[in-house]
Structure 1
Amino acid sequence: MHCRHLVPTLAVALGIAVSASPARAAADAVTSPAAGPWTEAHDASPAFAPDGDTVVFTRGVGTARRLYVAHRQGSTWSAPVRAPFSDRWMDFEPAMAPDGSYLVFVSNRPANGEGKALDGDWGGKPQPGRGGNLWRVDRHGDGWGTPVRLSDRVNASHSTFSPAVGKDGSLFFVRVNRGNGAFRLYRSRCKQATCQPAQPLALGAGGDRSDYDPAVAPDQSFLVFSSDRPPAPSNGGDLFIAFATPGGWSAPTDLGVAGDEARLGPDHATLYYSAPDHRIHRVSLASWLARHAAATR
C-alpha cells in the first residue's frame, strides 16, 4: 500500500521511501529492479495472468491512480494501456485470480458507481476521497466485464485494501483497526462474488503493529506480506513470509527486504514488490521455499 512512513499507525498508499535498518536480519535473498512494462516512478502491484503474457498494474499517485494493462510480445511488452473500467475513480492494487479469470482491485468508487468518492478513516483522522473497497471484474480473453463491488462481509469499512486471491476463491485483504490505526490481514472464502464472513489471520503481531499487502501462493501454502513488526525498521516495513502448517500459520520470518505491494510472478516463486526507490523490484523465494520443504519432509 506504499505505506512505509505511516505503517506504525495506518499503512496506506503515499509512497515515501525509508532506509532499511542494518539491525534487521540480512537474509540471503538477492533483489533487483524488475524489467517489465512499468517505466514510471510509483508504478506498482503487477498482477500477472497465469501464462505471464498479460499484466495489470497500478500507475499514478494518490487519487490519480488507475489500472493499466500490457501484453508480452515476444521478448518485449506492449505499451501499457489504461484498463477500460478504470477511468474515473482511484483504482489500485490489482490481484489476479490464479486461473486468470478475474481481477480483484481496490477503488474509492461509491457502491452504485455514482456520486462522491469514498472517504477513508485511518491515521487517526478522516481521509477525504481516499477510502477503498474491493471490487471484482471478470476477464474475457483480452477484454473485461463490468466491475462488481464485493459484499459488506469483505467491505465492512471504507478502509479495505490489498487483495490477494487463492485458487479456491479465498480472498486475503487488509482492514484498519479504528481503535489504534493498525492494519490487519483477513481471509474470506468466496465463490464468484459471494463471500463468507472474513476472519483475521493469526500471525502473532497484535497491538499497534500493522500487517498489510499480502501475496499468497495459489494453494495457500505460504503467504508473503509487509509488516512493521520487529526486526523491521521503526519507520517502515519489511517483507515477511509465513507457511501454512496443520496448526495454522508458522511464525513469520523477515526476508530482510524493505518493501510493500508484493505480488507473486507466474512461477509462484518470484516476488515483485515496490522498493523504497518507488520502483518495482523482484526477489526469488526459491531458497526459502526449498528450506521449508526440506524441514517438513
Structure 2
Amino acid sequence: MIKRKAVAKIGLLISAISVHWSVQADDKLAMILNNLEPSLFAPNIVSTNQFEYGSSLSPDGKKFAFVRALAQFSHSALVISHKQGGAWQTPTLLPFSGEFHDTNPYFSKDSNTFYFTSRRPVDNVENGTFQMWQVSYDGDKFGQPELVPGKINGDHTVIYPTVHTNKDIYFSSIIKGTTGSVDLFLSKYHPDGYQAPIEISELNSTASDADPEVSTDGKLLFFTSMRPGGFGHYDLHVSVKQKEGKWGKPINLGDKINSRRMDSDPILSADGNTLFFSSDKNPDVKAVNNYDELLQRQGRIHNGLMNIYSVDITELNQHLREKG
C-alpha cells in the first residue's frame, strides 16, 4: 500500500513538473513572438507604393527576386534587385518576364536554377491555370523557361511552390477531394520527373492553407492560413517536424507579424534566421483635408497595397528546435 502511494506521488510529481515545463515553454514562446520586430524590406527600393509580394533571396544573399503586380493580382511580372556595397539597387525586369502573368519566384538552394509559376500558354492546359516553370542561370545569365517535368503540373493550379534541399517541392493548390479549399501539398523529386502531389493532411484545415516554406534542415514549415483563431485574414504559422515524421500542431506567429489584413508568402534566408513575408498591413487611413493630401496619402508606401517585410527569427528558431 505504501509503495502504491509512493508510486502515485511520484507520478503526480512528474505530471506537475511536465505541466509546469509546458506552461513555461508556452510563456517563453509567447515572449519570443511578442519581441519580434518586422520591418519593411528595402523601403522605396523593394517595398514601395506599388504592389509587391512573393519574394525569394538567393543563397548568397546578393539577389532578391519578387513580384510587381497590378491590383487584385490581375497581372504580375518578376523583377530582381542586386545588393551592391551593402545596399539594394533599383530592381530590373527579369529577361523572360513581362508578357505573361508570372509570379512566385524561388531560387534553388544550389544556386543554378530559378523557379516561378505562370499562366503562359501550355498545350492541353486550360488558360488561367498556373504551372510551375524552371530557368537555368549562371550569375546573371538566365536561360529560357521550361516546364518543371513530371506530375507536379497538371490540370490543377500550382501556387507558391518552394524547393527543398532534396529537390522535393512544397506548394499549395486546389485539388478535388482534399481537406479544404486551398491546401498544402508535396511533390517528391524523381530523376525522371516529379511525382504526383501528396496532401500534407496533418496541416490542412477546412479553411485555406497556402504558401509553404521549409527550413533547410527540414525541421520547420512556415505557411499562411485562414483557419479559425487568427486575426481576421491570412495569418502566418509555423509547424515543427515531430519525431515520427509528421508535422506538429501549427503555431500562429502572433500579432507582431500578423494583422487583420493579408499576411502571406513566408520565405527564409539561407541560414533560416530571417523570415521574409508579404502584407498589406498598416494602411494610412488618416483623414485628409484636400485633394493634394489625398494624392499624397495614395502615394505613400502604406497605401493598402502589398509590401514585403523581413524579421529576425533567430531566437524563435532556437526555441522551436529545443521544444520540438
TM-score where L is the length of structure 2: 0.73
Partner secondary structure for residue 106 of structure 1:
strand
Q: Which residue of 1 aligns with 2:226?
A: 228
2:119 — aligned with what?
108
Q: Note the 1:52-67 alignment, pairs <5 A.
A: 52-61=61-70, 62-67=73-78
| Equivalent position SS for 1:288 | helix
Aligned to 1:155: 153
Q: How far 1:158 moved relative to its partner?
A: 4.2
Instruction: Tell me the SS of whatever aligns to 1:282.
Output: strand
1:33 is aligned to 2:40: yes
1:280 to 300, 303, 308: 308
Q: Would you say the 8 A contact 2:135–2:146 is kept in 1?
A: yes
Q: How far is the alpha carbon of 1:293 from its aligned partner? A: 2.5
Report what 1:214 is aligned to: 212
| Residues 193, 238 of structure 1: alpha-carbon distance in 2 compared, 3 angstrom cutoff | farther
Q: 1:50 to 1:202 in 2, by over 3 A?
A: same
**Deviation sequence 1:88-142 (CA, Å, 0-9, x none):** 1000111111122112111001225xx99822xxxxxxxxxxx311111111221
Letter in 2 for 1:282: S
Q: How does 1:79-118 map to 2 (within 5 A)?
A: 79-111=90-122, 118=127
Shift of 1:192: 6.4
Deviations 1:234-293 (A, max 9, x none): 4x1110001112221111111013210121123312111111232111222222211122
Deviation at 1:200, TM superposition (A): 0.9
Q: Deviation above 6 Å: which 4+ runs of structure 1?
A: none
With over 3 angstroms needed to count, the CA separation of the structure-2 counterparts of 1:144 and 1:192, relative to structure 1, is: farther
> 1:72 and 2:79 equivalent?
no
From the superposition, tell whether residues 178 and 171 of structure 1 become closer, same or farther in structure 2 (CA, over 3 Å): same
Output the amino acid matched with 1:43: E
The structure where helix makes up a greater share of residues is 2
Report the Cα distance in structure 1 between the residues aligned to 2:172 and 2:143, rounded to whole angstroms. 25
Percent identity reads 25
Match of 1:245 in 2: 242
TM-aligned CA deviation for residue 152 of structure 1: 5.7
Residues 1:175 and 1:102: Cα distance change in structure 2 (over 3 Å): same
Distance in 1, Cα, partners of 2:88 & 2:311:
21
Alpha-carbon separation, structure 2, partners of 1:54 and 1:108? 24
User: 1:64/1:204 Cα in 2 relative to 1: closer, same or farther (>3 Å)?
Assistant: closer
CA distance in 2, matches of 1:231, 1:31: 22
Equivalent of 1:146 in 144, 147, 156: 144
Which of 53, 60, 64 matches 1:44? 53
Q: Which is greater in Rg?
A: 2
Question: Aligned to 1:291, what secondary structure does the other structure show?
Answer: helix
Aligned residues: CA RMSD: 2.4
What is the distance in 1 between the residues matched to 2:69 and 2:203?
A: 34
**Matched letter for residue 205 of structure 2:** G
Report SS of the residue matched to 1:194. coil
Does the 8 Å CA contact 1:157/1:175 hold for their aligned counterparts?
no
- 2:75 alignment partner AA: A
Q: Extract unaligned runs of 5+ from structure 1.
A: 1-24, 120-130
Say if 1:49 and 1:99, in contact at 8 Å, map to a contact too.
no
State the 1:218 CA deviation: 2.1
Check the 8 A contact 1:70/1:80 in 2, yes or no: yes
The Cα of 1:191 is off from its aligned counterpart by: 4.8
